[in-house]
């Protein structure tokens, strides 16, 4: 007869654990507790680690080289996938957008962006977003809650398992503001980069934020190899206040000082993401202000044409308008300026668009 499941002691005192949200030490403790209860040899630990972090099947039952009693105990004691897959849309350009349902209700999105030399996963950190940037469909849909670290990691391992295409780069740039869910983001970075867990290279991870100064600095201290992207979008406080309401709490002077400190501490350039809103933030005055603000920060600028959604107050910029603005910036800013090619427009590829459309469909 199998011993009772260890649900009343140690890590299991509050019930099944979401295994993908555990630190390496917590994982070892939980796994050892399960293995010891069944008298399993130590090498099962290595098998289990490989199954969970490298192969990550849909359920414990599919871990074929583990004994059935162990798989049953794992099913009782651990939660492998906190997210449920709902649907996937594939664009003409092969971009893949996944919609996941949370156990407590609501949906989040992840995007796989294939390119000739890289595959980028764009992952969410919140269900919806409380920041309510006026250019973003995620904020329009409202804020439904913080994602747990296990849910952040699950997006990565589940997309990898479902698509058979592992990432070369991971970007925390989906739904939500990562630095407003800071502890869960830090734990997810720990799990993703630990060589005994997912083992993904920190240099190939980027965290995007609208700017929370002290957390930008702390991120650089704790994960100096992780890149920082700042959602910039305006170089004047009065305009940025309108586009990004959080700017009223964290004005540009403070945010850019933190970006400068991050670059100095990590030795890495900051990427300034700039969504071009025609007639709003793409004038020659804007270009001069950007050059003045950013000239002493090791950085690059990534221009992004606004991707319209229903009810949005802006229009999509023409290619010519993007090129003209880029030319002004190359003169005024002096650093690298790139234009990001839009991906997945035919599948509501921008952050929050698919979830917003599903909410609208449900009335």
What residues act catalytically? 109, 351
- 111 vs 101, 166, 182, 200, 310, CA distance in Å? 15, 13, 21, 18, 20
Residue carrying the six token digits 């009782």: 76
- 268 vs 220, 262, 271, 299, CA distance in Å? 10, 8, 9, 8
Q: How far apart are CA 102 and CA 112, in angstroms?
A: 19
Is 170 in contact with 204 (CB distance < 8 Å)?
A: yes
- 276 vs 45, 98, 313, CA distance in Å? 50, 26, 13
Task: Identify the three-state secondary structure at position 90.
Answer: strand
95-122 in b/e form (b: 16+ CB < 10 A) is bbbbbbebeeebbbbbbbbbeeeebbbb
Strands 78-79 and 270-276: unpaired
């Amino acid at each position: 007869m199998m011993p009772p499941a260890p649900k009343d002691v140690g890590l299991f005192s509050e019930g099944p654990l979401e295994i993908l949200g555990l630190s390496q030490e917590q994982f070892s403790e939980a796994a050892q507790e399960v293995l010891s209860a069944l008298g399993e040899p130590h090498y099962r630990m290595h098998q289990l680690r490989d199954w969970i972090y490298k192969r990550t099947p849909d359920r414990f039952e599919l871990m074929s080289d583990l004994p059935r009693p162990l798989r049953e105990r794992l099913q009782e004691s651990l939660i492998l996938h906190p997210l449920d897959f709902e649907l996937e849309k594939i664009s003409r350009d092969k971009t893949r957008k996944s919609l996941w349902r949370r156990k407590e209700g609501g949906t989040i999105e992840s995007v796989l962006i294939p390119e000739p030399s890289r595959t980028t996963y764009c992952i969410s950190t919140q269900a919806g977003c409380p920041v309510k940037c006026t250019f973003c469909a995620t904020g329009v849909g409202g804020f439904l809650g913080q994602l747990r670290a296990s849910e952040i990691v699950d997006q990565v391992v589940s997309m990898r398992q479902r698509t058979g295409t592992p990432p070369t780069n991971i970007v925390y740039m989906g739904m939500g503001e990562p630095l407003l869910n800071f502890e869960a983001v830090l734990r997810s970075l720990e799990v993703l980069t630990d060589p005994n867990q997912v083992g993904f290279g920190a240099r190939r991870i980027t965290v995007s934020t609208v700017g929370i100064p002290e957390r930008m600095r702390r991120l650089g201290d704790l994960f100096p190899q992780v890149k920082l992207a700042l959602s910039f979008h305006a170089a004047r406080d009065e305009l940025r206040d309108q586009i990004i309401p959080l700017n009223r709490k964290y004005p540009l002077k403070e945010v850019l000082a933190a970006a400068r400190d991050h670059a100095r501490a990590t030795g890495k350039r900051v990427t300034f993401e700039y969504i071009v809103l025609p007639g709003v933030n793409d004038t020659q005055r804007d270009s001069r202000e950007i050059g003045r603000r950013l000239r002493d920060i090791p950085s690059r600028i990534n221009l992004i044409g606004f991707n319209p959604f229903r009810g949005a107050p802006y229009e999509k910029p023409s290619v010519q308008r993007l090129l003209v603005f880029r030319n002004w910036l190359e003169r005024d800013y002096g650093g690298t300026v790139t234009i990001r090619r839009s991906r997945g427009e035919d599948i509501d590829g921008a952050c929050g668009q698919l979830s917003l459309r599903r909410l609208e469909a449900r009335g």
